[in-house]
């Protein structure tokens, strides 16, 4: 198995199941990082279904935002880290940034500390938050390559439908697409899962891109 593997696909494509099979195939302890936050009954049901389909022996870490810090804490583990999913993590970061834009505290109350995603009220959220989040994604991608355990990230292809009608949704779509590119560049293997079947896309794509750039 490669050091860092990225698994992507559409909704209900089978990507999570495939990633879980990859993690189990290594026959090492698995640490499952869940980025979901439960806000309603529908999300609670989705989380419950995920819990039921994975082995109860897997260690669970629920972390919606601080993935960089979590990977650092796990950097010497002898096993497999499976994170599901990247796009929920990005959602959490983006909404945290939006909340800070709507209601920023008095700077005098921060005691010299800054928010991880700082915003100015007169600037569109995509222009402010995206560069900061992409910097975090770059750092996480590098960590995934460097730490001792094998790492598997599950993400989503969210930009293949209609153009969203509101600015926040468009900012999220763009952020997810650019983040996936960063992670795919760093990953040793990238799989696209379609209708339950995985396809390895990085190596063939690299060869094609290299041949086109030579022309």
Catalytic residues, by residue number, are 50
Please tell me what DSSP assigns to residue 159: -
Give dist(CA 133, CA 115) in Å, integer: 13
Q: β-strand 80-84 against 189-194: which pairing, if any?
A: unpaired
Give the SS3 label for residue 33: strand
SS3 59: strand
Phi/psi at 205 (5° precision): -65, -40
Question: C-alpha angle with apex 178: 195 to 23, nearest 5 degrees?
Answer: 50
Tokens encoding 141: 């991608």
How far apart are alpha carbons 49 and 46 in whole angstroms?
A: 5
Both tokens assigned to 101: 């834009």
């Amino acid at each position: 198995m490669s050091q860092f593997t990225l698994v992507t696909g559409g909704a209900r494509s089978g990507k999570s199941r495939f990633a879980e099979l990859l993690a189990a195939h290594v026959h090492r302890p698995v640490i499952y990082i869940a980025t979901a936050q439960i806000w309603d009954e529908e999300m609670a049901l989705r989380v419950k279904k995920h819990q039921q389909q994975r082995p109860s022996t897997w260690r669970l870490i629920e972390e919606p935002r601080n993935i960089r810090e979590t990977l650092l804490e796990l950097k010497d583990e002898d096993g497999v880290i499976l994170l599901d999913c990247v796009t929920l993590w990005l959602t959490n970061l983006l909404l945290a940034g939006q909340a800070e834009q709507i209601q920023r505290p008095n700077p005098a109350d921060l005691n010299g500390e800054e928010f991880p995603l700082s915003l100015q009220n007169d600037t569109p959220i995509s222009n402010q938050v995206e560069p900061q989040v992409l910097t975090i994604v770059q750092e996480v991608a590098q960590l995934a390559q460097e730490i001792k355990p094998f790492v598997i990230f599950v993400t989503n292809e969210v930009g293949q439908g209609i153009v969203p009608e509101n600015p926040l949704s468009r900012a999220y779509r763009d952020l997810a697409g650019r983040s996936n590119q960063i992670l795919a560049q760093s990953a040793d293997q990238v799989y696209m899962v379609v209708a339950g079947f995985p396809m390895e896309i990085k190596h063939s794509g690299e060869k094609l891109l290299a041949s086109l750039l030579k022309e």
